[in-house]
Amino acid sequence: MNTESETLFEIIRFVDLAGVLANAILGGVAARTARLDIVGFVVLAIMSGLGGGMIRDTLLQQGTPAALLDPAYLICAILGGVIAYFVTFNGRWTRRVLLLLDALAVGCWSAVGAQKALEAGLGWLPAILLGMITAVGGGMVRDIMLLKVPTIFGGNTLYATSALLASTEMVILSKLGFVAIGTGVAILSGAALSLLAKRYGWILPTGYALRIPKPILLLNPRAWRQRRLDARNARNGVNPDDPGVGV
């Protein structure tokens, strides 16, 4: 491994662990809102910080999930839960720092998940899907454990969309042979879109309510007969409004 690759690996690892810590703290914040005890804090922190990666590795079926092989990941997740147990993150700047780390993690996890899928021999579409799962899976598990609809399903600013963008960029650039550039672009673009969405309140629209017209002619025999009568009168040059018609 050359120096450039080592530097990139260290940057990715730092962002990865920082994202684990930030999401673990966010899991702890959710535990505080739900008035859970220390066990709840730690469990939600682990699921929030590591859930997406463990789901990805389980689906890839290539051995033990990476989060369980490297002790640094579990340490960061547990530490985040303990920190959130003792510290309330209601301050303006603490919230901003967490949002920044979380945004960087979206791009980083999307890139790592997509690249792992490609290295496992999967196609471009499964790679994008696994990149997204890596980024949003932990938050989904956290919300489900709290009996809530996952926030990525609606009512929240763009998050899964940021993961989709980052995963797609990573797959395209990786296919072109620019893995390092793809990782950097995915991290920056995913973070930028997430932060801009938070800043300006960008959300996806909910379901539309298009109404399908009622098939009157099929459900109403009288209307069908009237339609046939009107067509016959038109062919015969008969105006049904003329006096004496039908007499």
**DSSP state letters, 153-197:** GSSS-SSHHHHHHHHHHHHHHHHTT-HHHHHHHHHHHHHHHHHHH
Separation between Cα atoms, residue 11 and residue 108, nearest integer Å: 10
| Contacts with 162 (C-beta within 8 Å, 6 or more apart), sequence order | 103, 106, 107, 110, 135, 189, 190, 191, 193, 194, 197
Mean pLDDT of each 10-residue bin along the chain, 247 residues long: 73 86 92 94 96 94 90 95 91 86 91 93 96 95 93 87 96 94 93 94 84 60 71 69 50
Per-residue pLDDT at 81: 95
> In degrees to the nearest 10, what's the CA dihedral of 237, 243, 244, 247?
100
Q: What is the pLDDT of residue 120?
A: 93
Supply the pLDDT for residue 213. Answer: 61
Residue 132: per-residue pLDDT: 96
For residue 225, what pLDDT is reported? 72
pLDDT of residue 247: 41
C-beta neighbour count of 176 within 10 angstroms: 10
Q: How far is CA 120 from the centre of its chain?
A: 22
Q: What is the C-alpha separation between 20 and 48, in angstroms, rounded?
A: 8
